[in-house]
Structure 1
Amino acid sequence: MAHSQQMANAIRALAMDAVQQANSGHPGAPMGMADMAVALWGQHLQHNPANPHWANRDRFVLSNGHGSMLLYALLHLTGYDLPMKELKNFRQLHSKTAGHPEVGVTPGVETTTG
């Protein structure tokens, strides 16, 4: 299995697990958009997980914020400061993984969406 397919499947698994554990959330976007997101992040976007505020980065905005586990899984798998512990706290109070992405809370999130 190709690395990109493994990563897309990892996104799907992380999303399913997080939504199930939270007993809340929307798994449809991460499930359906995983392949596209892996291609975009892996082959086209310029970003630096070690420096999320790098001035020359491309910006990824997930306008359907309720599909936030797609973004959180991508950030986690590509090396941003978003450990598994935070994914397990999806949609919990004071978590870096709120139900909708929030700028300034989660490294790599470019704007708050809903």
Structure 2
Amino acid sequence: MATQTANALRFLSMDTVQAANSGHPGAPMGMADIADVLWREFLRHNPKNPKFANRDRF
């Protein structure tokens, strides 16, 4: 699961850089695994209630 999510982040970052015709995707592609682990294991969020008061912002 983690690899699929990180790969999705990588593809989104490539698509965004390509659409903007500007930027460098190196950092987002390299940090996709870190972002995935942070999101799944450390950040507090609730998809059913995205505006709850104690949520973390990323």
Both proteins in one fold, TM over 0.5: yes
- Give 2:40's aligned residue: 42
For the residues of structure 2 that align with 1:47 and 1:26, how far apart are their CA atoms?
29
Q: Number of paired residues? A: 58
Partner secondary structure for residue 46 of structure 2: coil
> Where does structure 1 differ by over 4 angstroms across 4 or more consecutive aligned residues?
none
Higher relative contact order by CA 8 Å / sep ≥ 6: 1 or 2?
Answer: 2
Q: Deviations over 1:62-101 (max 9, x none)?
A: xxxxxxxxxxxxxxxxxxxxxxxxxxxxxxxxxxxxxxxx
Equivalent position amino acid for 1:28 in 2: G
Equivalent of residue 10 in structure 2, options 6, 9, 12: 12
The equivalent of 2:57 in structure 1 is 59
> Partners of 1:7 and 1:16 in 2: how far apart?
14
Q: What amino acid does structure 1 have at the position aligned with 2:28?
A: P
Displacement after TM superposition at 1:9 (Å): 0.8
Q: CA RMSD in A?
A: 1.5
| Identical aligned residues as a percent | 67
Inter-partner Cα distance in structure 2 for 1:10 and 1:37: 12
2:27 counterpart residue number: 29
How far the C-alpha of 1:31 sits from its partner, in A, is 0.5
Q: With structure 2 as the length reference, what TM-score do the two structures score?
A: 0.81
List runs of 5+ in structure 1 lacking aligned partners: 61-114
Shift of 1:50: 4.1
